[in-house]
Structure 1
Amino acid sequence: MTTYVDKGARPTGGRFLSFDHLTFWVSNAKQAASYYVTRLGFQPLAYRGLETGSRKTAAHVVRQDRVVFVFESTYETEENDISSSVAVHGDAVKDVAFEVEDLDHIVEHAKAKGAVILRDIWEERDDFGIVRMAKLKTYAKNTHTLVDRSKYRGKFLPGFLVSPEDPLIEHLPQGKLNFIDHVVSNMPDGDMEDTALWYERMLQFHRFWSVDDKQVFTEYSALKSIVMSNWEETVKVPINEPAKGKKKSQIQEYVEYHGGAGVQHIALNTKDIIGSIKNLKSRGVEFLSIPSTYYDIIREKLAASPVKVNESIDTLQDLNILIDYDDDGYLLQIFTKNMQDKPTLFLEVIQRNNHNGFGAGNFKSLFEAIEADQHKRGNL
């Protein structure tokens, strides 16, 4: 594991504040949004469709605290960008949007470095103000939308109606998910470094953290990963690629089923991971199982560590929550099973206690758990 101390000079202008929202292209936006509401505790936020004058696509927006997901599908019967994408990738993240300051400077810098600007800066407005946006091409066919909300006070974006509340919400326990911690992308073998360089050159991100196949491996598979971050380190984008092993890694399985590079998982930060996982399990969310021997080893190691975990290890074991730590703090994390039939996208729930890593100490246990599921699917 390598942590990069030197971030370089602060960018001269333009600031990335946070993840703004993630847009999924799906076959049925209404049902996909409903799944995240009923299973994960999101709330309906906004809607755009035939009733709002959108004749080609429908979009349903859901929110949980500062996490905003948009599910978009097509009305058209002829082949189009959304239907073609869903046919190849299945339901998948198409766009990762960032909230920014000084949009003009960020776009001008990206242009000067040779970025593909799919849509130059444009404005949308309604009674709640003005939103300015631009859209950039990133790896494969994925995009990043840059959003300036400084002059907007609406619920989401102009052109959307506020959604009615779902009556199920008051009868189900809260998801307790607070914000997007990081968004992980998988690359075909050999593409990771070029993608990392794209973030450095176009967005002025820096290398925050990395591991290679000498540090993250099991008997069967391995990976390499570079985490890219904005200067303030409020937006983190890990980039993975497979490494050679005896059998097919989960990264290679993703690339084959997704049909190329794409978002593999979304990490959602919580202040109360025990309460969150208990509630999500009661709503039917399925998580990976961890062998009991993992917790025997953790108990031994923590006994000699200066870090004291506040949560009960017995409770963490009952819930299959993983623990990673250093001399200054620790993190707790857990991973869902795949969110759809294709073994591609899944979610992570993470709680940080003075620890900014990504669970490198857990990668082996996590890989083994994923490999167990891969074996069931006949893909290991």
Structure 2
Amino acid sequence: MNFAGVDHLELYVGQLEEAAEVYCAGFGFRVTGRAGPETGQQGRISLLLKLGRIRLILTQSLVATDEAADYVAVHGDGVKDVAFRTEDAAAAFHEAVRRGATPVHEPRVYEGPHGRLVRATVAAPVGDLVHSFIERASPEGDFWPGRFQPVVAPASERDLLASLDHLALCLIPGTLQETVDAYGRLFGLKQSHEENVATQYGGMNSKVVQDASGGGVCFALMEPMSGKRPGQIDHFLSNHRGAGVQHMAFLTEDILEAVRVLRARQMPLLDSPAGYYEALPARVGTLSEDLEQLRENHVLVDREGNAGYLLQVFTRSVHPRRTLFFEVIQRKSARGFGTANIRALYQSVEQEMMRKERKANVG
């Protein structure tokens, strides 16, 4: 099964305008489409946001019986649909169902004066997540003919982010391998990386699955290890009330500039672990970037032998339940996921959790 990447993500949210503000004010996304009862979408309203090649649908229910209302009541705001771009949505749907996927929406054609789209949906092997198959007659056509009304967005000098790099999903303990197997069986995704992280309090097991064709579908799957106290994945599973998407990783061409802009827009970023930069030169060697600038901006670095290196920064969660957060990543000929930084990220999040616990206890 071949995919041409992630077509879009759809998030179910409780307050549409507030949720859109996080993406628009924080990252520079622009509203490029609207949908609701006036466009034939009953019981809900949606905004289409775009930045670079990233497209997000934010959807809020208008009636208590809508699926989005049920989702938000259980999970809070979160990613409901990770939609795959494919050349033949109907064929992909029927093949996935033949392999054992649970059908959600049969293939349906949407046509308009400026485009044609075929969409079909199956359940994902993770919580309440689903995967839609999207077939487009032309990438220049309307995003969703007959459903979304285009909105003329103000021009931007330069997009801060280029594309979606990967998604990280938190899983119920003991389900990591079966989820890897399910993504392979149902969608043809292959395991490419594996990492186990243990800290003084707990840890996690992680495996990465990607589409074999290199189309851009990539999931980092994580399950918690048992430990002395609940870790970040345990907290996600508790607050989200089940498995789901923990963070989105956005690709940028200039991470230092991206961080400067994010800080100016008041997007809260995670601090780097204590002592991280003292050990960095010995671990990664010579870099194009200035070490002090990396330290000032809490940018993490990982090198993959002689293949290049990557730079990463993570936001604090601005989600009401402190579940969903974001990563910004720049790749310099590196294809990995910051293996050496996975421990650093885990420690950073643990430090943030402990800081909040101390603050709450003092308060």
**TM-score for both structures, normalised by structure 1:** 0.89
Shift in CA distance, 87/376, structure 1 to aligned 2, threshold 3 Å? farther
> 123, 148, 161: which is aligned to 1:160?
148
What is the CA distance between 1:152 and its match in structure 2?
5.8
Residue of structure 2 in register with 1:3 after alignment: none
Amino acid at match of 1:346: F
Residue of structure 2 in register with 1:103 after alignment: 89
What is the CA distance between 1:271 and its match in structure 2?
0.8
Amino acid at match of 1:327: G
Does structure 1 conserve the Cα–Cα contact (< 8 Å) formed by 2:90 and 2:118?
no
What is the CA distance between 1:153 and its match in structure 2?
3.2
Does structure 2 conserve the Cα–Cα contact (< 8 Å) formed by 1:175 and 1:276?
no
Alignment RMSD:
1.9
Structure 2 gap ranges (5+): none
Structure 1 gap ranges (5+): 1-13
Q: Distance in 2 between matches of 1:157 and 1:80?
A: 20
Residue of structure 1 in register with 2:20 after alignment: 33
> 117, 128, 135: which is aligned to 2:121?
135
What is the CA distance between 1:112 and its match in structure 2?
1.6
Report whether the alignment pairs 1:240 with 2:218. no
Residue of structure 2 in register with 1:87 after alignment: 73
What is the CA distance between 1:175 and its match in structure 2?
5.4
Structure 2 matches for 1:79-228, cutoff 5 A?
Answer: 79-138=65-124, 139-151=126-138, 153-158=140-145, 159-165=147-153, 176-212=160-196, 216-228=197-209
Taking only the aligned residue pairs, the percentage that are identical comes to 28
What is the CA distance between 1:106 and its match in structure 2?
2.1
What is the CA distance between 1:55 and its match in structure 2?
3.2
Residue of structure 2 in register with 1:332 after alignment: 311
Q: Distance in 2 between matches of 1:314 and 1:361?
A: 20
Q: Distance in 1 between matches of 2:139 and 2:27?
A: 28
Q: Distance in 2 between matches of 1:260 and 1:74?
A: 21
Amino acid at match of 1:142: L
Amino acid at match of 2:104: L
**TM-score for both structures, normalised by structure 2:** 0.93
Report whether the alignment pairs 1:276 with 2:276. no
Amino acid at match of 1:65: G
Residue of structure 1 in register with 2:280 after alignment: 298
Q: What is the CA deviation profile of residues 92-144 of structure 1, one whole-angstrom value per residue up to 9, with x for unaligned ones?
A: 11110111123333223212211111112111111112101110101221100
Does structure 1 conserve the Cα–Cα contact (< 8 Å) formed by 2:44 and 2:66?
no
Q: What is the CA deviation profile of residues 41-70 of structure 1, one whole-angstrom value per residue up to 9, with x for unaligned ones?
A: 111110002332333110001110101111
> 247, 253, 256: which is aligned to 1:265?
247
Q: Distance in 2 between matches of 1:153 and 1:174?
A: 20
> 334, 341, 348: which is aligned to 2:327?
348
Q: Distance in 1 between matches of 2:142 and 2:116?
A: 12
Does structure 2 conserve the Cα–Cα contact (< 8 Å) formed by 1:175 and 1:279?
no
Query: What is the SS of the residue equivalent to 1:101?
Result: coil
Amino acid at match of 2:208: V
Query: What is the SS of the residue equivalent to 1:294?
Result: coil
Q: What is the CA deviation profile of residues 152-183 of structure 1, one whole-angstrom value per residue up to 9, with x for unaligned ones?
A: 632411111112436xx76xx85510000001
Q: Distance in 2 between matches of 1:18 and 1:129?
A: 20
Query: What is the SS of the residue equivalent to 2:222?
Result: strand
Q: Distance in 2 between matches of 1:326 and 1:165?
A: 39
Does structure 2 conserve the Cα–Cα contact (< 8 Å) formed by 1:174 and 1:276?
no
Report whether the alignment pairs 1:55 with 2:33. no
Does structure 2 conserve the Cα–Cα contact (< 8 Å) formed by 1:60 and 1:70?
yes
Q: Distance in 1 between matches of 2:118 and 2:142?
A: 15
Q: Distance in 1 between matches of 2:333 and 2:42?
A: 48
> 34, 54, 68: which is aligned to 1:67?
54
Query: What is the SS of the residue equivalent to 1:24?
Result: strand
Residues paired across the two proteins, number: 355
Amino acid at match of 2:28: G
Query: What is the SS of the residue equivalent to 1:38?
Result: helix
Residue of structure 1 in register with 2:295 after alignment: 317
Does structure 1 conserve the Cα–Cα contact (< 8 Å) formed by 2:83 and 2:133?
yes
Shift in CA distance, 31/25, structure 1 to aligned 2, threshold 3 Å? same
